[in-house]
């Protein structure tokens, strides 16, 4: 069962309210707020932590109906995740105790700071031209992080470019667990993000949460390979009313690949057969038949060469 959407508290004057809490006049605060990082559902700030002399990220959740926001309560449960491709949560605070007339009560989590922002910026802003080897390298990192999350009996449920960080040394790290699933949950607070979500998530079927992540990872695989282009969009998108690529993929796959190559101004053989096989397996509409992580890692395309860490740094530094 999926909860109805929860209205978000207003963020008016939130920066000043946080400053009043975290930058005390007597200088006793451990934090200094540097700037706002993201225009997301919840505000995200770059902060400087005086004791450790390092930059961190703070995600802030205004109270909802006088209590800590359900998204905060959900995300704070994932602070035990420790993996090189998962962005760590260092600590969380349920009651920020902001003392200011009319101020909003807030909760926050403090995370590792990713200096190169998200993969959305990598494709859309920096316009990094991914070759097949770089696409596979970052897909490896995505799958390694996802395999670890699933091994903890969890599922992310909202994988997308905006939730993949480009961290130190240009490593991929999965972030934002405020709508994620943990074994034993009977309710979740998301139906996913359009153009990334598995069909069963839209239908509120949660029998296999990990398979939902595999579907979204398949969308990301295509984006990496195609240099930022989406494989298809949902039917209510205006651009798909005349040419529904999702229906074309499942009905006449050969035409789908030819049309995608045409969009990208590539030859008909741009999409390798091994890549097509992997994408097809990850896009299976039946979650029980969809690729497992082990099958992805054993696929032919996955096991072709990848770049070393040093090579990735050399490539990515050209664009930052």
Where does residue 93 fall: left (phi above 0), alpha (psi -120 to 50 degrees), or beta otherwise? beta
CB 249 within 8 A of CB 283: yes
CB 133 within 8 A of CB 109: no
Query: Per residue in 179-197, is it b (16+ CB within 10 Å) or e — as a string?
Result: bbbeeeeeebbbbbbebbb
- The DSSP letter of residue 109 is E
CB 107 within 8 A of CB 94: yes
Of 168, 150, 155, 177, the residue nearest 70 (C-alpha): 177
CB 130 within 8 A of CB 224: yes
- The DSSP letter of residue 123 is I
Output the CA–CA distances (angstroms, integers) from residue 320 to 30, 229, 314, in the order listed: 30, 21, 11
Note the pTM of the prediction, 2 decimals: 0.88
Rounded Cα–Cα distance for residues 58 and 48 (Å): 10
Rounded Cα–Cα distance for residues 197 and 188 (Å): 14
Which long-range contacts does 270-279 make (Cβ < 8 Å, 24+ apart)?
A: 271/225, 272/132, 272/301, 274/299, 274/300, 274/301, 274/304, 275/132, 275/225, 275/301, 277/301, 278/221, 278/302, 279/218, 279/221, 279/222, 279/231
Domains within the chain, CATH numbers bracketed: 14-112 (3.30.200.20), 119-319 (1.10.510.10)
pLDDT tens digit at each of 320 positions of the chain: 333 333 333 444 555 555 555 555 444 467 788 888 876 788 898 998 777 788 999 999 988 888 999 999 999 999 999 999 999 999 888 987 654 444 568 899 999 999 999 999 999 889 999 999 999 999 999 999 999 999 999 999 999 999 999 999 999 999 999 999 999 998 878 888 999 999 999 887 788 999 999 999 999 999 999 999 999 987 555 544 445 899 999 999 999 999 999 999 999 999 999 999 999 999 999 999 999 999 999 999 999 999 999 999 999 999 99
């Amino acid at each position: 069962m999926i909860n109805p959407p929860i209205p978000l508290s207003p963020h008016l004057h939130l920066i000043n309210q946080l400053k009043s809490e975290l930058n005390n006049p007597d200088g006793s605060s451990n934090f200094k707020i540097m700037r706002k990082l993201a225009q997301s559902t919840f505000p995200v700030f770059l902060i400087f932590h005086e004791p450790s002399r390092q930059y961190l990220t703070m995600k802030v959740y205004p109270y909802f109906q006088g209590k800590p926001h359900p998204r905060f309560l959900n995300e704070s449960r994932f602070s035990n995740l420790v993996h090189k491709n998962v962005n760590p949560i260092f600590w969380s605070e349920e009651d920020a105790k902001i003392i200011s007339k009319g101020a909003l009560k807030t909760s926050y989590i403090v995370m590792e700071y990713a200096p190169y922002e998200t993969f959305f910026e990598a494709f859309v802003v920096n316009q990094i031209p991914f070759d097949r080897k770089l696409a596979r390298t970052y897909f490896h990192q995505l799958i390694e992080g996802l395999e670890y999350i699933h091994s903890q009996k969890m599922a992310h449920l909202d994988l997308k470019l905006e939730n993949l960080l480009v961290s130190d040394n240009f490593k991929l790290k999965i972030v934002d667990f405020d709508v994620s699933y943990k074994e034993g949950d009977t309710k979740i607070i998301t139906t996913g993000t359009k153009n990334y979500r598995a069909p069963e998530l839209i239908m509120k079927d949660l029998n296999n949460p990990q398979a939902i992540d595999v579907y979204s990872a398949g969308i990301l695989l295509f984006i990496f390979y195609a240099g930022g282009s989406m494989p298809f969009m949902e039917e209510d998108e205006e651009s798909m009313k005349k040419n529904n690529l999702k229906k074309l993929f499942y009905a006449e796959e050969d035409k789908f690949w030819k049309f995608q190559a045409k969009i990208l101004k590539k030859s008909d053989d741009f999409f390798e057969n091994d890549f097509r096989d992997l994408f097809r397996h990850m896009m299976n509409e039946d979650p029980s038949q969809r690729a497992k992580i082990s099958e992805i890692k054993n696929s032919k395309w996955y096991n072709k060469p990848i770049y070393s860490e040093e090579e990735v740094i050399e490539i990515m530094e050209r664009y930052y």
